[in-house]
A and B are shown apart, each in its own frame.
Chain A
C-alpha cells in the first residue's frame, strides 16, 4: 500500500504540490488524472526518491520511503517514464533486461535476452527490434520498449506515466489491456498517469484528480461520471468552461 501524507513540493516560486493526501491500496489500479503541468509526474517521482518533497511523508507497506534502504526498496518498483528514458547507449534488449544483467536479480545472458524478448512481445514488439538502438525506433515504439523494461522483473508496484500517449488507438487498447492484465493476474499495485479517458475506463479501479497541488477528488471509476465534482466534470467532458482555467 502506498500512502501519501501532506506532500508539499515547490520549485522556487512554483508551488506544484500544495498538500497531497492519497492512499493506493495493494493490488489496486489507481489512475491519476489532471491537467498538464499540475504535478502528476512530480508526485510519482517523490515515491521513488527521485524528487524529495519539501514536507510530508510517503509510506509504502508501513515503511517510510525516505528511511528505507534504497536499492532493495527500488527493486520492488517498475517505472515507465513519460519520455521513455531509454538508455541510448544500449540496444533495445539490454534496455529491457537492464535489471536482469546486474545486481540481485542477475540472470545468465541467454535467459535475460529470452525474458526481454518475451516482454517485448507483450507490448506488441517483435524480436527483430531486440538488437536495434532506441534512436532507431519511432516514438511510440520507444514508449513500448520502456513499458517492457518497467515490467521486465515483474515488480510488485508499477508506475505508468502516460503509457498510451503517442500510440495509435489499437496499440493504446493493447497497452490498456496489458496494464489491466498485470493488475488482475499478477496482483500488481499500479499507479497510472493519463489524460486519456478511454484508458481510465479500461484500467482503473480508482481515479484521483490532481489540480492546484491537491487531490480534488478520489473515488472508484464507476462513480467518475456522477462525481458531482466540478473539476472532474470539466476534465472528463473536456470543456473550456469550469473551475479549471485555460489561458488563451
Chain B
C-alpha cells in the first residue's frame, strides 16, 4: 500500500467517523427533545423501565459481586507485598464505586439492552412495522425511541447503585470470610472513606451509560438495512458502538470529575 493510499483511507475513515458522529448527535438531540414534548407514552416508559432496569438487576448484581470479591483478593495479595493489606475496604470501595460499578453496568446493559433494542427495532423496520406505525399517526421517535432512552437514563443510576453496593458486598464477603477482616471494622472503614462526591459521580456515569446504551440500540435498529442480515449487523454494530463509547465516556468523566 502506498503512502498516498494510506492517507486517503485514513481521511475517508475520519470523514465517515465525523459524519456518523454528526448523525448520532442529531438523533440524540431529537430523542431527548421528545422527552419534553407530548404525547408521553407512559405505558411504554413504564414497561421499558421494567425491561431495561428491573430485569437487568440479576446480571448486574452477579457480575458486580464477583468483581468486588476478586478485587478484594487482588488488593489483599498486592497489598501484602508492602504490608498494606488493611487498605482492602477502602480500595474496594473506591474501585467499585468510582469505576467498576458504573463500567460493569454500562457493559452489561450494552450486552443485554442495546442488543435487544437494536434487534427489535431492526426487525420492526424489516417487517414494515415502522411504516405501519407512521401510517397510524404515531411517530417512532416518540413511541419507540423516547421511552427507551428515558428508561435508560432513569434506570442507569439505579443499576449503578445496585452494582456499587453488591460489589462492595462481594469484597466484604471475601475479606471477612477468608481474609480475616472484622465485619464491623470493614463496614466502618468503607462508610468513612466514601464521600458523597464518589457516589454522585457514580450516578452521573450510570445515567450517561444508560443514555448511550439505549441510544445506540435505537439508532442502529432504526437505521438497519433490510433483511435478516441487516438485523444481525445492526445488532452487532450497536453493541460495539455502545461498549466503546461507554468506556471512552467513562474515561472522560473520570478525568473531568477526579483530576480537578
Contacts and interface: CB of A to CB of B under 8 A. Distances in A.
Contact of B129 (A71, A77, A79, A86): A86
A126 interface: no
A103 B128 contact: no
Nearest to A51: B131
Contact of A102 (B124, B128, B132, B138): B138
B178 interface: no
B255 interface: no
Interface residues of A, number: 24
B151 to A, nearest CB: 15
A74 B135 contact: yes
A160 B186 CA distance: 70
A90 to B, nearest CB: 10
A13 B234 CA distance: 25
Contacts, number: 51
B126 to A, nearest CB: 9
Contacts of B39: 102-103
Nearest to B126: A83
Contacts of A79: 132, 135
Interface string A36-68: 000000000100111000000000000000000
Nearest to B133: A87
Interface string A76-92: 01010111011111000
B132 A45 contact: no
Interface string A137-160: 000000000000100000000000
B137 A99 contact: yes
A83 B128 CA distance: 8
Given A102-B39, A102-B41, A103-B39, A81 B137 contact: no
A48 B135 contact: yes
Contacts of A85: 127-129, 131-132
A38 B214 CA distance: 38
Nearest to A49: B134
Given A83-B127, A85-B127, A103 B132 contact: no
Contacts of A45: 131
Contact of B128 (A70, A74, A81, A98): A81
Interface string A88-114: 110000000011001100000000000
Interface in A111-170: 149
A49 B138 CA distance: 13
Contacts of A72: 137
Contacts of A50: 131, 134-135
Interface string B122-161: 0010011101111111110000000000000000000000
Nearest to A106: B39
The 6 closest A-B pairs by CB, nearest first: A85-B128, A85-B132, A71-B137, A74-B137, A79-B135, A50-B131
Given A81-B131, A87-B132, A102-B39, 5 more contacts: A70-B137, A74-B135, A77-B135, A85-B128, A98-B138
Interface of B: 39, 41, 120, 124, 127-129, 131-139
Interface of A: 45, 48-50, 70-72, 74-75, 77, 79, 81-83, 85-89, 98-99, 102-103, 149
